[in-house]
Amino acid sequence: MPDYDGLMDTDFDAFQQSLDADPTAAGLFAPDSAPVFAARAPGRLDVMGGIADYSGSLVAEMPIRQAAVVAAQRDDPAEGAVTVVSANAAEANLTPKVVLPAEVFTNPVSLLRWLRDCPPPSRWAGYAAGALSILRAEGLVPRKAGARLFVRSEVPLGAGVSSSAAIEVASMRAICAAFEVPLSDGLVLARLCQRVEHEVLDAPCGIMDQVTSALGEAGKLLLLLCQPYQVQGTVALPPGYSVFGIDSGVTHSVAGDAYTKVRVAAFMGYKILADKAGSGFSGYLCNVSPDTYKALIPERLPETMNGAAFLGAHGGTFDTVTSVEPTETYPVRAAAEHAIHEMVRVTRFVECLREGSEGAMQEAAIHMLASHDSYSKCGLGSRETDLLVSDATAHEAVLGAKITGGGSGGTVCVLCREDAEERMAKSIADEYQIRTGLQPRIIRGTSPGALASEVRQVKVG
């Protein structure tokens, strides 16, 4: 069995070395002031479920090897300002040091407005500083609490493997330690971090990323029923099989227009079905079975629907983090049908893994490919990820592949024979680079979620 404790030690050691060597971080932490605490949280590979999380689906997520480590020191006494330094910002053309003024922490909306108005290369700081804003709003830290944060992340940015959730979870844990806020419940931690996305970053994401980053188990798929967040245990891949990711190099964002449009469309479809049935289906679209859907609307939902027409007929959706734009046209049928069928696909996929036979694994691969095709129907596919899936599945050692997370680029998840994983990853990546000129990144390996490691005190000065 891999030495996961040693792996996490390696991450903390690399973090300490970065902190000691980074000139931008010089003087960030006051050695004679409050102690500095660091926390670690991994990214995740979305194996099945993806965008259906906000519709209440079952999802299957693997914590990845790459992780973020964030250190926090309370600025006490403070006027509420927050300074954030990143060890990785310069290589991503981002501002390495961002100072957020005290007045923007009055409430999360104030911070959201400030981030919208600040230069784009500085907006990354919201993922770390947003944790303090939410904690202040909850009354868990002093009203004028300030902090100093240092971020080091190896999770690829914009690849759809939850670089944001990793920073949020690590930041939330480190800040809580700095202010002596007890936070041992992984689901509470995940919910607070999801609020950073919703209230500070205006990103209407589901909660699977934050839960996996907090509670994931190395080498296993975390099973989460997103109603709203019920952990259903874990499942391991059968012996002889493995999954890995290949980042297409096409940047993904859950704050993007396409992702939001599909989310709104799914909730529009849900409201139409709820009005037709006179039932809310216990609060989630994924509780509508394919048979119930066919019985309610034999002719299926409209392929597209104008926002104004929907609002006139149905008065709005149940979603609390998005709204229907009257002038927009939405892919209602594809978005709603994706959620309805994805619940079935994920459920059966997990059953196939538990069965573990060759036939069951071939069926699991079919469900992955069906999910990939459904993303494209929603408008969340991309030429590059289609190419990766096509190239990957042309190899005999590969069973299936699919786009992941919020789609529109990002990472493709590949299911293959375990003994061929390294060879397949390199071959697929090399072929892709030749055909597109893009530089793919291979995402292999796994590591424990944040709560598997203790928050550690950091040496400064």
The band of 384, judged by pLDDT with boundaries at 50, 70 and 90, is: very high
The contacts of residue 357 (CB under 8 Å, 6+ apart) are none
Distance CA(260)–CA(265), nearest Å, equals 9
Using 50, 70 and 90 to split pLDDT, how confident is the model at 77? low
Confidence of residue 32 (pLDDT cuts 50, 70, 90): confident
Q: What is the pLDDT, as a whole number, of residue 155?
A: 97
Predicted local confidence at residue 2, as pLDDT: 86
pLDDT at 395 over 60: yes
Binned at pLDDT 50, 70 and 90, residue 144 comes out as confident
pLDDT-above-70 percentage for the chain: 98
pLDDT for position 135: 97
Q: What is the pLDDT of residue 256?
A: 64
Residue 141 predicted with pLDDT over 90:
yes
Write down the domain spans for the chain: 4-50+64-235+447-457
Instruction: Give the pLDDT band of residue 126 (cuts 50, 70, 90).
Output: very high
Q: What is the residue-averaged pLDDT of the chain?
A: 96
- Return the pLDDT at 212: 98
Task: Please report the pLDDT score of residue 253 as a whole number.
Answer: 59
Question: Is 60 exceeded by the pLDDT of residue 191?
Answer: yes
Any idea which fold 4-50+64-235+447-457 has? Ribosomal Protein S5; domain 2 (3.30.230)
pLDDT in tens, 249-261: 998 655 568 999 9
When pLDDT is averaged across residues 377-382 and rounded to a whole number, the result is 97
**Per-residue pLDDT tens digits for 196-237:** 999 999 998 889 999 999 999 999 999 999 999 999 999 999
The catalytic site residues sit at 209
User: Residue 76 pLDDT > 90, yes or no?
Assistant: no
- pLDDT at residue 109, as a whole number: 95
